[in-house]
Amino acid sequence: MSAGRPRRIVVVGNGIAGLTAADTLREAGFDGELTVVGDERHPAYSRPALSKALLLDGEDTASHELPPAGHGASELLGVRATGLDPERRLVSLDDGTVLPYDRLVLATGSRARRLSDLPEELTLRGLDDALVLRERLAANPSVVVVGGGPLGMEIASGCLAVGCRVTLVSQGAPMALQLGAHLAGVFRAAALDRGLTLVKTTAARLERGDGGVRVALGEGPVLEAELTVTAVGDVPNTQWLSGTGLVTRGAVPVDARGLARPDVAAAGDLAALPTARGPRRVPLWSSAIEQAKVAARALVRGAEVPPLRLQPYFWTEQFGVTLKAVGHFPVAGEPEYLDGGPGGGPALMRWPCPDGSGDVAALDYRIPVPRLRRTARPAT
CA separation, residue 118 to residues 115, 168, 215 (Å): 9, 19, 12
Of the two residues 35 and 286, which places its CB atom closer to other proteins in the complex? 286
Report the greatest alpha carbon distance in the chain: 65
Of the two residues 53 and 90, which places its CB atom closer to other proteins in the complex? 53
Contact residues toward other proteins (CB under 8 A) are: 16, 19-20, 23, 27, 46, 48-49, 53, 62-67, 69-70, 285-286, 289, 315, 322, 324, 366-371
CB-based contacts of 29: which residues, under 8 Å, 6+ apart? 300
The packing angle between helices 285-301 and 16-27, to 10°, is 40
Smallest CA-to-CA distance from 271 within 307, 242, 247 is with: 247
Smallest CA-to-CA distance from 302 within 344, 335, 259 is with: 259
Of the two residues 54 and 241, which places its CB atom closer to other proteins in the complex? 54
Of the two residues 62 and 222, which places its CB atom closer to other proteins in the complex? 62
Question: In the complex, what is the shortest distance from the CB of residue 224 to other proteins, in angstroms, rounded to a whole number?
Answer: 35
Of the two residues 69 and 217, which places its CB atom closer to other proteins in the complex? 69
DSSP secondary structure string for all residues of 59-74: S---TTB-PPP-S-PE
Instruction: Mark 53-78 as b/e (b = at least 16 C-beta within 10 Å).
Output: bbbbeeeeeebbeeeebebebebbee
Question: In the complex, what is the shortest distance from the CB of residue 127 to other proteins, in angstroms, rounded to a whole number?
Answer: 13
The H or E element containing residue 348 is strand 347-352
Question: In the complex, what is the shortest distance from the CB of residue 49 to other proteins, in angstroms, rounded to a whole number?
Answer: 6
CB-based contacts of 19: which residues, under 8 Å, 6+ apart? 36, 44, 66, 69, 71, 292
SS3 212: strand
SS3 270: coil
Question: In the complex, what is the shortest distance from the CB of residue 7 to other proteins, in angstroms, rounded to a whole number?
Answer: 22
Of the two residues 70 and 218, which places its CB atom closer to other proteins in the complex? 70
d(CA 149, CA 174): 6
Question: In the complex, what is the shortest distance from the CB of residue 20 to other proteins, in angstroms, rounded to a whole number?
Answer: 7
Of the two residues 240 and 315, which places its CB atom closer to other proteins in the complex? 315
Of the two residues 101 and 285, which places its CB atom closer to other proteins in the complex? 285
Question: In the complex, what is the shortest distance from the CB of residue 289 to other proteins, in angstroms, rounded to a whole number?
Answer: 6
